Structure 1
């Protein structure tokens, strides 16, 4: 780990940009938006199912838009793309704060938050780090991914406190203000060194469609895609309904909530180790095993009556989720190269974002259909197991 320390010491300023992007992406992530849900449901007189449908539709819409704009990081200055993204996120927060029973404004706010937050900010961070670094790519990506963990630790406290003291509108407006503060700071940050590897050629719409069509038709894409999105699909599905599952099992809600400390610590540690291992063993090798912990963790969650089954799952899920940030992006760079990594990664990101919309929707349908908890978990275990077996073929990909 000495190498990691020396890398961080010498590259703090560069990797801090990637860290801030993932940190600020929290404003568009499900874990933070979910804090607004109870108040939005009351304000707009919606049912849980209705809001779930709206959220899924907005997420799917943002994933499609992501595919059309993700390539800009390949040929536009990083600072310009970042500024536009931060501006879009701030405006989306402000729209949410003034939506006041106007459903079209709610749609617009959620689409903007999902596009800029979960989509573009994460995309910018991972693309820039993987393109700028080669030998230390794993370390750079792992440090950047730590922004997710810190955001999960800090922002829920801030936003939930603002909602409790005031209302969700004030919380959304304050969120927009935080983003504008970073936009001001961005003006004084030098990012031009990240532009030296840009592709000067701006692709046409037809060439992009052709490239995406060719990518989807390749064997390596069919190997990589399930493994790239399965962690997001399963973790979002389970965490979205986690307290429904906890009540179903008769477990203590407060004790389960306390277990998230173990999840956070594990995810934080594995974010660092995952990047270190990518540089030591290659992303291709790590890509073949990073799904294993979470896959195994779903078995005790499904079959153990004791709440210890949840603790085991959360620790093992933290391992896979922690490694995923560095591993999935690094393997794309290793296999496809970095010349068009923005466009290529945007395709993977689109499917990832889409999976986070479909996962909770499908699980919600199973819950409504009174499917047993263990069968729901086992169905997701089967998805993880298939992805794990399928990804082993990547060792034969040139």
Structure 2
């Protein structure tokens, strides 16, 4: 069913789908899993502690979240082609700055740039484009574009580690800048030489409202909607928990008495399962609607965190990573389609910018908060158990919101 649905139409749409994949893939240069590879070298060269680096990372990420709330509206006002090129160029220039960072103050601005252009804007531009360009196949379009996330997670760390061993950590950032200028930017210009028009018709989940003029929410209207805020405790959970665990992976494996290599070697399990999860969720979104799947994506993350809480052997790490991938893959697809389904597409960039700012803020808050609590003597197992319990509670909360979400989608 899935394959027969995808092949005929999606083949003709590969130019635009590939642009979304390219944008999310390149966002990896600003993601925690990539930047954390250079943490040891930065702390040594700049003579800063673990806590100081974590604080600088939090400050840079929070600043990027604040700017994203303002800059996200450009996805509604500018061509995706040239906005994407501009953001990639900004990421490349920031990579060059990282290669020459020589002080703590410069590092703050560099971390801000990597998080803003990489994690923030590239992800935002890609998901906004998929949500606006596709109606009937929105779920699958978002899921295909989101494959860039696990692809980057699977490939970029290995390339970075090999490059550091060959040419050093600073030259690796120079190489990253050169690659961004030489490959993704020209490819994106070619892929989007013709601006995409939205597909005709409505998604299956929206056909019950066919024939009624669809309401297009503005950002100010969304900010006045209590339901938008009610969704945040669940929507922001994956960013908070996964970033917190990955950022503190060195501490976690040390407390568990494991080798760090076990943790690193388990990432492909997360990436592989995330691909399957994203594609499956895309088909389900098109068939049932993103809002109906909201209670599901936090359950695997809760199970993963629960397993990590009580795990005594590193052999469970592949299972942990697979469950994380199951959650992240479905979450990226469901959330990528949700906002267009609820609030329309005319102001989608401005609305998604609010959500992305929240996601970035959550990813900034967790490393510092978890580090402070661990420094204060809170046991690791207690923190992980609290995260697991929160996932299950948030999933139930998402389920409780279902009737109101359905009424909102049908009235839009």
What TM-score does the superposition give when structure 2 sets the normalisation length?
0.88
Asked if the contact 2:87–2:117 (Cα under 8 Å) also holds between the matched residues in 1, the reply is yes
Q: Which moved more, 1:153-162 or 1:130-139?
A: 153-162
Quote the Cα distance in structure 2 between the aligned partners of 1:309 and 1:319. 16
- Offset, 1:271: 1.5
Out of 398, 402, 406, the position equivalent to 1:391 is 398
Do structure 1's residue 293 and structure 2's residue 300 form an aligned pair?
yes
CA deviation digits over 1:237-289, x for unaligned, max 9?
Answer: 11111232222123354444433332222112111111111112211111121
Quote the Cα distance in structure 2 between the aligned partners of 1:283 and 1:304. 33
Quote the Cα distance in structure 1 between the aligned partners of 2:198 and 2:266. 45
Aligned equivalent of 2:77? 75
Quote the Cα distance in structure 1 between the aligned partners of 2:180 and 2:193. 18
Aligned equivalent of 1:124? 125
Aligned equivalent of 2:208? none
Quote the Cα distance in structure 2 between the aligned partners of 1:27 and 1:255. 23
Aligned equivalent of 1:166? 167
Asked if the contact 1:284–1:395 (Cα under 8 Å) also holds between the matched residues in 2, the reply is yes
Where 2:190 maps in the other structure, the secondary structure is coil
Aligned equivalent of 1:106? 107
What TM-score does the superposition give when structure 1 sets the normalisation length?
0.91
**Would the alpha carbon gap of residues 195 and 133 (structure 1) be closer, same or farther in structure 2, given more than 3 Å must change?**
closer
CA deviation digits over 1:79-128, x for unaligned, max 9?
Answer: 221121111111111111122x2333222221111001000000010000
**Would the alpha carbon gap of residues 216 and 87 (structure 1) be closer, same or farther in structure 2, given more than 3 Å must change?**
same
Out of 42, 45, 48, the position equivalent to 1:43 is 45
Asked if the contact 1:131–1:341 (Cα under 8 Å) also holds between the matched residues in 2, the reply is yes
Out of 351, 371, 376, the position equivalent to 1:364 is 371
Do structure 1's residue 348 and structure 2's residue 355 form an aligned pair?
yes
Aligned equivalent of 2:226? 219
Asked if the contact 1:77–1:192 (Cα under 8 Å) also holds between the matched residues in 2, the reply is no
- Offset, 1:336: 0.8
C-alpha RMSD over aligned residues: 2.0
Unaligned runs of 5+ in 1: 198-209
How many residues are paired up?
385
Quote the Cα distance in structure 2 between the aligned partners of 1:319 and 1:3. 22
**Would the alpha carbon gap of residues 190 and 372 (structure 1) be closer, same or farther in structure 2, given more than 3 Å must change?**
closer
**Would the alpha carbon gap of residues 187 and 265 (structure 1) be closer, same or farther in structure 2, given more than 3 Å must change?**
closer
Q: Which moved more, 1:251-260 or 1:51-60?
A: 251-260
Aligned equivalent of 2:213? none
Quote the Cα distance in structure 2 between the aligned partners of 1:293 and 1:118. 23
